[in-house]
Amino acid sequence: MSNITIKLKDGTTREFPHQPRAGGSWTNSLKHEGAFVVVIDEWEKRTYIPAADIAEIIETPDRGAW
């Protein structure tokens, strides 16, 4: 389970917090598709962000009560 923060070159920040989903170990994930970074949430919703606009990506694991 991870929280994903994407800092854009224009100074804005996009946050994708981990939102628990019952029935398994669903989590946010990142992947790269051509000129885009894709954030996929626990419900398989995909957000495409142009890689050229991104300054930094921070992925923080959420260990819960471990």
CATH code of the region 2-61: 2.30.30.100
What is the predicted pLDDT for the residue at 16?
93
What is the predicted pLDDT for the residue at 7?
98
The three-point CA angle 32-53-34 to 5° equals: 25
Q: How far apart are CA 9 and CA 26, in angstroms?
A: 30
Q: How far apart are CA 15 and CA 21, in angstroms?
A: 18
State the distance between the two ends of the chain, measured CA to CA, in whole angstroms. 12
pLDDT digits (tens, 9 = 90+) for 3-60: 999 999 999 999 999 887 776 667 788 999 999 999 998 889 999 999 999 999 999 8
- Spell out the domain ranges in the chain: 2-61
